[in-house]
Amino acid sequence: MAAKDNLKPYRDKRDFKKTSEPEAGSKSGYKHMFVIQKHGASRLHYDFRLEVDGVLVSWAVPKGPSTDTREKRLAIRTEDHPVEYADFEGVIPEGEYGAGIVMVWDRGKYRNIRSDAKGKSLGNSLKEGKIEVWLNGKKIKGGYSLIKTGRDKGKERWLMIKHDDEHADARRNPVSSQPKSVKSGKTLHKIKKAYEKNSG
C-alpha cells in the first residue's frame, strides 16, 4: 500500500518505545481532516497537516498561519505523518526526534477549492506545488493557498497565504491571541506539567 511506504521516513526517525507518538496505520474517520499543531521544540513552530490519500501531508510553519492576506508565511515540507497524529498532544522526550511539547492548536475539515484544477485530486495539486483549500477549523477558517517555491537543503519550501474572503482579517492574530489547545484547553506549559505529573 502506497500510504504505508509514505510513512517510512516518519517511522525511521522515531523510537516508539520512547515516544508516545502514534506508530502508524491508516484508520478511517480522518478523511479531509486538517490539524495545526503548536510544537514547542528547540524552536517554536506550527505544524500544518492535511489528510491526503490516507496520510497527513505536513509542513512546519515557523510563524504559524496568518489571517492577513498580505502575509506570506514560510512553510517547510516535512515527512508525512499517520492520520492518528491529528489527535496527538503531549510531550516528546528529550533526545527523541522533535523533542518538546505538542499541542492540537486547531483542527477541522478542509475542502479542495482549486478552481483551475478540474477533476484534479489534492494529491496532484501537491505534486504540482499549488494547493488551494478551504479550512473549517475553530480558529482558522476560509481559503488558503500553499505554493511551492523551491528547495533548500533537500527540503521543499512553500508559502502559506490567506485568500481574500470573509475570514480574512489583518487585525486578528490568532497565533498570539488564541494560544490554547482546541483539544484540551491547555497551554503548552500545562501540557508539560500534566506530563511531568504522570511520568512522576
Binding residue (CB under 5 A) for Mn ion from 6, 46, 47, 58: 47
**Segment interacting with Mn ion, rule: CB under 5 A, options 34-42, 64-72, 115-123, 154-162:** 34-42
- Residues in contact with Mn ion, total (CB under 5 A)? 2
Applying CB under 5 A, which part among 23-31, 43-51, 83-91, 149-157 lies near Mn ion? 43-51
Q: Which stretch binds Mn ion (CB under 5 A): 32-40, 113-121, 131-139, 177-185?
A: 32-40
* CA–CA distance, 148 with 128 (Å, rounded to integer): 8
Residue 84: exposure state from Cβ atoms within 10 A (0-12, 13-18, ≥19):
middle
Q: Of 117, 122, 127, nearest to 156 (Cα)?
A: 127
For Mn ion, which residue has the nearest CB? 39
Task: Give 31 or 43: the residue with its C-beta nearer to Mn ion.
Answer: 43
Shortest spacing between CB 98 and Mn ion, in angstroms = 5
CB atoms within 10 A of CB 87: 13
- Please identify which residue in the block is written with the cell numbers 508565511: 73
Q: H/E element holding 78?
A: strand 72-82
Q: How many C-beta neighbours within 10 Å does residue 168 have?
A: 17
Alpha carbon distance 170, 166 (integer Å): 12
Asked whether position 106 contacts Mn ion by CB under 5 A, the answer is no
Q: Is 49 in the site for Mn ion (CB under 5 A)?
A: no
Q: Is 39 in the site for Mn ion (CB under 5 A)?
A: yes
Binding site for Mn ion (CB under 5 A): 39, 47
